[in-house]
Amino acid sequence: MLRISDDITIEDWEITETFTRASGPGGQNVNKVSTAVELRFEAERSPHLPDPVKRRLRRLAGRRWTQDGAILIRAEDQRSQARNREIARDRLADLIRKALVPPKRRIPTKPTLGSKKRRLKAKAIRGEVKSLRGKVDPND
């Protein structure tokens, strides 16, 4: 069981882990031991997550979200299978925690009078510079 918050926990049946050989450093250990962890969380079918959280989670997960509504997280940072497993579970928990926080509504503001005047002044100066770029008459 993976505890996310006080009221949300992920059951073990919702998570499947597969172990493969990792790339990178590790010497001969890399060729023999399956230390990389690929964690699959069935987010779409999870009864523990409310719908708004699932929608935010889908947006946050990006390309880690599969077509059938699962999240894939791969961890191959460490040489230990147990440590990689821990890292993958932590990444999943962090992702879900981020999805729990609803985004703040943006309140549109109006530009100040000073900023409007500065913008118009800059436009006038720029227009004057451009008007001075006209063709030069060779007879003058």
Please give the domain boundaries of the chain with CATH numbers for all domains: 2-100 (3.30.160.20)
At residue 116, the pLDDT reads 97
Residue among 58, 56, 68 at smallest CA distance from 16: 68
Question: Model's pTM, two decimal places?
Answer: 0.70
Q: Which residues contact 71 (CB under 8 A, 6 or more apart)?
A: 40, 41, 43, 57, 61, 64, 65, 92, 95
Q: What is the pLDDT of residues 77-96, one digit of tens each?
A: 888 888 999 999 999 999 99
Q: Are the beta carbons of 69 and 41 closer than 8 angstroms?
A: no
Q: What is the pLDDT of residues 104-130, one digit of tens each?
A: 999 999 999 999 999 999 999 999 999
- Residue located via tokens 């879900």: 96
CA distance 92 to 109: 36
